[in-house]
Structure 1
Amino acid sequence: MNNSNAVVGKFALDSLTIGMYENEMVVYREYIQNSTDAIDRAVELGWIASLEESQIDITIDKDNKIIKIRDNGVGISNQNVSSTLKDIGNSSKDYSVNRGFRGIGRLAGTAYCKKLSFITSTRNEDKCSIVTWDCEKLKELLKPNLNNELDLVQVIDACVSVEEVSEDIEKHYFEVKLEGIDDKNNLLDEYRVKMYLAQVAPIEIDSRKFYYYSDLKDGIKKYMNENEIPIEEYPIQINRRRITKLYSTVIKGKDNDHIVAVRKMIIKDENDNKLAFLWYGERRIGKGRINDDDIAGIRFRKNNIMIGNADTVSKLFGDSESQKRFNKYYIGEIYILEKNIIPNARRDDFEDSYYYSIVKEEMTKITKELILVARKMSDRNNADDKIEKAEKKLDEIKIKLEKKRLTQEEKEVLEKEVEDINNKLEENKKIKENASQRLNELGRKTIVNNLEIEKKTSETQGKVKDLTKKLQDDDFKGNNQNPLKGISRDIQKTVRGILKILEKEIEAEKYDTIEEKIYDFVHKNKR
């Protein structure tokens, strides 16, 4: 047997940087999750009083093409700097506690800048360590068919330098500095970075926009505290402006639609261990999917960092696109609590495991009910739309009776039309009642003013009764007034001729509007 030492080729590094992630924005996520781990340790040691006193400050300098991400976590000791910041996939972090544990996330920035520096110090050391990756040289050495004799270790040694400078013995921090960032990506676009991190980062919800979060009576935060679910929120600033999640009580782009309640539940295993915590918002109207993709859809989170996106959870709504789309009728989050449910390397889903299978199974049961609720709300909304159109049609007929002289034949046509409209009204009211009843059975909070509904129903029935009575009255001929009274006979004849042509050529609704405008025009311009 030929024994030889295995060699890790230099191209493995390429796979662990640009080949690992779906877009450049994950650079922020990777460094922020490392910051949160360092802050947690600083809180544990008593160096920081609480998470609220922690700091994660992002500076985006577009003019100079520089990004800095700095935290006041424990930092890294001078003794461990080289092994921690040069080794690959050799992290000492505990996967069950830490967010970043594979030891590859810090490499994310190498693909998008010319120089990547890690600047750090820890308490009780008078040194600051600076580890610098020459990313331009790294890219040159990783080119195919060049420097093939170099392995991964040799490439890293050629591209990485370490230096020390003096520092205050009490200071503890870690800073990532990316210099010479490529203009082609969005890393320097402050607005896009904010919108990305507002979805992904472990930050709080703004209670001024979404009061269901901190509601003292029945809020999400209160529920989490009562059930001992950790609240992992860190103050993150971009160019000195603190960012929060984007959830709002008002549904953008949906008239009069807003969140009227929040459902909360805990998913457990057979031993009553907490695996996940779910919250989602119930909408007042729920007319179609939410068009704002920054909040639409229930999303997974682990340690309050988003895993995947809304599409990751959409798969639990069903296999077909017609089922998956229902996720975006809702807003919400699933916080994974079980330490053995581990994000995959790309952090776009979780590794398959026994506990994750339980979460997916329970969520599939929940999504079936969510689909049913969405469909029943759709039935109710469609019925509402048809009722509104029918009532509008009754008003148009009423106006026609007040303005137009009718023949017996026209009266009979209108009487039949009123009868058909009334039948549609009754049919859709029944559909609405059934849908509302089913929603109530499902525990869906509905905003209904019964007195207003009864009043509206009574008014509609009165309209139908009044119109039917008039149209069945042989003596009723509609409006007996001549709308062209006072206009010369020649002009009256011409106008009526034009109106007869229009009546045959255009829709009734348009005709009525044009007819009225023509009468107004003739009277205003009579000589």
Structure 2
Amino acid sequence: MTTTQQPTAPAAASGAQPVVRRAHIGSYVLETLTVGMYGEPRHAIREYIQNAYDSIRRARRSKWLEPAKGSVTITLDDLASTLTIEDDGTGISAATAWSVLSSVGASSKDRRQQAGFRGIGRLAGIAYCDELRFVTKYAGETTETTVTFDCVRLRAAMDPDRSAGEDIQDLLAAAVTDKPRAVPPSEAPSHYMRVIMDGLSEAPEEITDVALLRTYLVQTSPADFNKDFPFTERIRALAIDAGQPLEPIEINLVHRRIDEGGQTEDGLDVADDPLEEVGSGYGAPPQPAITIDTYEIRKPYLSSVKPANRNAVKLQNIRGIRDEATPPKWWGWIGTHQVLGALTDEGRGLRVRVRDIQIDGTVITDGMFASIRPTYARFNEWHIGEIHVVCADAIPNARRDGFEENATWLAIQAELSPTLKDLASKTYKASSGRSKIKKLAEKVETYLAAASQAIGPTITMDEQQELIAEARVVSGEIADAASQDLISAEDAEALTALTARVNSTRRRIEDVEVVRPGETAITMSPADAMSVVYETLADMLDPALYRRVRRRIEEELARRQT
């Protein structure tokens, strides 16, 4: 019988403790989980909002917050060069704050109940700031804990040109510190988490531009619908029916910006405040004027949608969709509106969400449309709607820009396929109609140009008949386009205008004097024509007869004019 010898640890000297082995995990792993993790920098902010969302929902279940309460405030401070994400969720106890926040790839969260579960999202900010601070407090405690990541030190350890791959545990022990702070007993009931990204000098524009940040937040966050969106209650009912009610939270984006030419914090105009002048000799440093803008973050859907180069059209209704399983793996809604073209709305395109947090942008559903036909990917932007994946076996990947390609996710895509094919078919017809109308407009312009060139004081019979026949053909094509089911009121009006222009030109052609075959059209003025007649008579008649004939012609013309 053959036996396999198992490797053993090196023998310890007699009486010595056994040698303990520890695998070396280099700091380059941290680069994969931070700088190399997200192609979209704003995904780092989404990770903190996702953690805040889970914490707020826990606080609601623990009765620390009322069912509909809970908020996140994102503050971009240009003067301090910080971005802060603060929530009133449960926070983390002082006893576990350092171990929880410094752990990598470890989380006690249940992925079947919570949005985040891998334990790497909290590291996302390391890539974009000089110092990352977590300030947290747990309800009932009188200690606030600040855990600080030295991001400059950590990024240097990730750089192969500057580091030899320092052990990740030694690195985190040196670069991550915690500091407790006692709070008054009156503050013991409070609970919160404050994530501060400090030192944004090298952060990308997506994080430091408030407009880009706002656009991202309204698309991705678990916020409520806009107040004038008419179908909120319908969608909430669909979610309840699917077994996973929506649990929106209040989200606000605050921008503290330097106001050039505005007022200082003491209310004086910058131009009139002597303390604003550097080196003014008054002893106080200049204080830049600060303006604070606050944006309420809500999902971007409104009561209308705006196609490109078109007027806004009313969102007529929504259509609920879901799979047939019990409980369902997914559910969703699709807006019903006049399909006129690609939309320009912030929420355009069908978007996939898990725990009401968007997974990437529209890339996932673009790909589903493209699987029907590659050119159909563009049709996604002609629609609005959401697809909520509720089955825990459909697992978002680590970057949360897609899903793990397992059997459940493949089944969900297959189940969505008939709905997307129906949308693609209707969109294709509408797109073809738009293309046909554009071609008709070009055809009418070509016809009108040719007719304008042919129309004069007279026209040959062949030219007249040819232009009239062409007018009838063009008018027939316009009438055919106007009879299509998906024609919009705007397009119908445009087609009516084209018909009127063609008919007007046709009537002009019919009114022009026709030169019969064998006839010669006279195109000069009557006076010039009479001059030619008189010159011809003068050449053919003797002078006396010419004068009598000319006088008779002039008398006859005068008589007929009266």
TM band (smaller chain): 0.7 to 0.9
Match in the other structure for 2:350? 298
Matched, 1:173 2:227: no
Secondary structure of 1:318's partner? Answer: helix
Tell me if structure 1 keeps the 8 A contact 2:468–2:506.
no
Tell me if structure 2 keeps the 8 A contact 1:61–1:188.
no
- 237, 243, 253: which one pairs with 2:252? 237
Matched, 1:406 2:422: no
Matched, 1:134 2:150: yes
Q: CA-to-partner distance for each residue in 1:12-64, whole Å, 9 max, x for gaps?
A: 1111110111132112101000000000000001111123x211011111122
Q: CA-to-partner distance for each residue in 1:247-273, whole Å, 9 max, x for gaps?
A: 34131533125244344233225x432
- 400, 408, 417: which one pairs with 1:355? 408
Distance across 1 between alignment mates of 2:448 and 2:331: 51
In structure 2, the CA distance between the partners of 1:65 and 1:382, relative to structure 1 (3 Å rule), is same
Match in the other structure for 2:168? 152
Match in the other structure for 1:511? none
Tell me if structure 1 keeps the 8 A contact 2:456–2:512.
no
Tell me if structure 1 keeps the 8 A contact 2:437–2:481.
no
Distance across 1 between alignment mates of 2:358 and 2:525: 70
Tell me if structure 1 keeps the 8 A contact 2:329–2:391.
yes
Match in the other structure for 1:120? 136
- 89, 92, 104: which one pairs with 1:73? 89
How far off is 1:421 after superposition? 2.8
Secondary structure of 1:274's partner? Answer: coil
How far off is 1:6 after superposition? 2.6
Q: CA-to-partner distance for each residue in 1:310-331, whole Å, 9 max, x for gaps?
A: 1221111134541222212222
How far off is 1:430 after superposition? 3.1
Secondary structure of 2:425's partner? Answer: helix
275-284 vs 152-161, which moves further: 275-284
In structure 2, the CA distance between the partners of 1:110 and 1:205, relative to structure 1 (3 Å rule), is same
Which amino acid in 1 is paired with 2:362?
A
How far off is 1:418 after superposition? 2.7
Match in the other structure for 2:319? 264
- 280, 285, 290: which one pairs with 2:334? 280
Secondary structure of 2:329's partner? Answer: strand
Tell me if structure 1 keeps the 8 A contact 2:231–2:318.
no
How far off is 1:353 after superposition? 2.6
Tell me if structure 2 keeps the 8 A contact 1:110–1:116.
yes
Which amino acid in 1 is paired with 2:61?
E
Matched, 1:11 2:11: no
Q: CA-to-partner distance for each residue in 1:400-452, whole Å, 9 max, x for gaps?
A: 99xx643241x53243123123223324533553x42xx6xxxxxx7669x99
Q: How many residues align?
A: 462
How do residues 337-376 of structure 1 correspond to structure 2 at under 5 angstroms? 337-376=390-429
Secondary structure of 1:220's partner? Answer: helix
How far off is 1:76 after superposition? 0.6
TM-score for the superposition, normalised by structure 1: 0.77
32-41 vs 366-375, which moves further: 366-375
How far off is 1:107 after superposition? 0.5
Tell me if structure 2 keeps the 8 A contact 1:257–1:286.
no
Matched, 1:47 2:64: yes
**RMSD value over aligned CA atoms?**
3.6
Match in the other structure for 1:213? 231
Secondary structure of 1:342's partner? Answer: coil
Match in the other structure for 2:305? 250
Secondary structure of 1:162's partner? Answer: strand
Which amino acid in 2 is paired with 1:286?
L
Distance across 2 between alignment mates of 1:461 and 1:109: 64
Secondary structure of 1:136's partner? Answer: helix
How do residues 391-430 of structure 1 correspond to structure 2 at under 5 angstroms? 405-409=456-460, 412-430=462-480
How far off is 1:166 after superposition? 1.4
Distance across 1 between alignment mates of 2:199 and 2:503: 75
Which amino acid in 2 is paired with 1:336?
V
Tell me if structure 1 keeps the 8 A contact 2:444–2:474.
no
Tell me if structure 1 keeps the 8 A contact 2:156–2:163.
no
In structure 2, the CA distance between the partners of 1:61 and 1:483, relative to structure 1 (3 Å rule), is farther
Distance across 2 between alignment mates of 1:484 and 1:175: 91
In structure 2, the CA distance between the partners of 1:207 and 1:153, relative to structure 1 (3 Å rule), is same
In structure 2, the CA distance between the partners of 1:448 and 1:113, relative to structure 1 (3 Å rule), is closer
Q: CA-to-partner distance for each residue in 1:111-152, whole Å, 9 max, x for gaps?
A: 111111111111111111111111122223333365647411
Which amino acid in 1 is paired with 2:416?
M
Distance across 1 between alignment mates of 2:102 and 2:425: 53
Larger Rg: 2
Q: Which runs of 5+ in 2 are unaligned?
A: 1-6, 10-20, 255-293, 517-522, 529-562
Secondary structure of 1:273's partner? Answer: coil
130-139 vs 199-208, which moves further: 199-208
How far off is 1:399 after superposition? 8.6
Q: CA-to-partner distance for each residue in 1:463-487, whole Å, 9 max, x for gaps?
A: 6985676469889xxxxxx9999xx
Distance across 1 between alignment mates of 2:414 and 2:193: 41
Distance across 2 between alignment mates of 1:137 and 1:455: 70
Percent identity over the alignment?
25
Secondary structure of 1:315's partner? Answer: helix
Tell me if structure 2 keeps the 8 A contact 1:299–1:306.
yes
How do residues 14-93 of structure 1 correspond to structure 2 at under 5 angstroms? 14-51=31-68, 53-93=69-109
Q: CA-to-partner distance for each residue in 1:361-381, whole Å, 9 max, x for gaps?
A: 022222222221111112333
Q: CA-to-partner distance for each residue in 1:208-241, whole Å, 9 max, x for gaps?
A: 3xx3433x6xx43454456655223221111132
Match in the other structure for 1:200? 220
In structure 2, the CA distance between the partners of 1:62 and 1:149, relative to structure 1 (3 Å rule), is closer
Which amino acid in 2 is paired with 1:197?
L
Distance across 1 between alignment mates of 2:161 and 2:501: 81
Tell me if structure 2 keeps the 8 A contact 1:202–1:304.
yes
Tell me if structure 2 keeps the 8 A contact 1:383–1:429.
no
418-427 vs 368-377, which moves further: 418-427
